Amino acid sequence: MHVLQSKIGIKINAKVYKKDPLSSELGGKILSHSIAFIEEAGFEDFTFRKLAQLINSTEASIYRYFENKHNLLAYLTMWYWSWMEYRVFMTTVNIDCPKIRLRRVIKCLTEEVKEDNEVQQIDEIKLQRVVITESSKVYISKKVDQDNELGFFLVYKDLVQRVADIILEINPKFKYPHMMVSTIIEGAHHQRFFANHLPRLTDIIPGEDTVTTFYTELIERELSIEK
């Protein structure tokens, strides 16, 4: 019997999978090896056939878990954001001052992941790299509206809302809280990607966490928060 559920409350919309990958050994292998494969070779070169060979299984077996590779990537992305929401929750619990809460949340959302301990099947460090480079392929697709109706982006939208609420607590008149948050989240991913491949588009100094610093300063200035 396999009990591979997450210790904490990571919630994945059941419509993204055909069979819960965390409910079996094969499912677990699908997750861990797909993360490793996509991180290494990119989503384009990732196929269910190659993954099957890698884990000594078959294409047909993988198709029993996920309808297609798009949905598998959607699953991984959902898992990541759900995990992020938990981390955001943990880092702000019992903190009364919204300014401190905001600062902690921005840090959480923009910095590089360094832990890896939630679930055995999922290497969060690699997963973040996958999310940074590949997750936009989940929503920038002709399937967006369809996937959105199925609830694939609920966790993400809830997370943005949660941060927007902190912003509104600090400045209830601020008109663009959601734009601000999605700009920061997506921007942080882009900047990390640029740092690796198109450095002229960024100002990242190796050794420093320029991304977190930049976005923290940006939002604090926008909301007129003094240091």
Partner DNA sequence: TCATAATGATAGTAATACTATTATATTTGC
Partner DNA sequence: GCAAATATAATAGTATTACTATCATTATGA
Nearby residues of 44 by Cβ (< 8 Å), 6 or more positions away: none
CB-nearer residue toward its own copies: 61 or 171: 171
Q: Does 25 bind DNA (CB under 7 A)?
A: yes
Q: Does 57 bind DNA (CB under 7 A)?
A: yes
Q: Binding residues for DNA, how many (CB under 7 A)?
A: 23
Q: Does 53 bind DNA (CB under 7 A)?
A: no
Name the minimum Å distance from CB 95 to DNA.
43
Residue with tokens 């009364």: 96
Name the minimum Å distance from CB 53 to DNA.
10
Instruction: Identify the bridge partners of residue 119 per DSSP, sorted by sequence position.
Output: 122
CB-nearer residue toward DNA: 50 or 197: 50
Instruction: Evaluate whether 74 touches 137 at the Cβ level (below 8 Å).
Output: no
Q: Does 24 bind DNA (CB under 7 A)?
A: yes
Name the minimum Å distance from CB 54 to DNA.
12
Q: Which residue stretches of 24-68 are H helix?
A: 25-41, 48-54, 59-63
* Measured CA distances, 124 to 35, 89, 121, 146 (Å): 9, 17, 9, 28
Q: Does 63 bind DNA (CB under 7 A)?
A: yes
- CA 170, 157, 14, 43 torsion: positive or negative? negative
Q: What is the distance of C-alpha 47 from the center of its chain?
A: 21
Question: Of 12-20, 74-82, 83-91, 139-147, which segment contacts its own copies by CB under 8 A?
Answer: 139-147
**Which amino acid appears at position 65 of this protein?**
Y
Question: Of 12-20, 40-48, 60-68, 71-79, which segment contacts its own copies by CB under 8 A?
Answer: 40-48
Kindly list the residues in this chain that would bind DNA in the complex (CB under 7 A): 1, 19, 24-27, 45, 47-50, 56-61, 63-64, 67-70
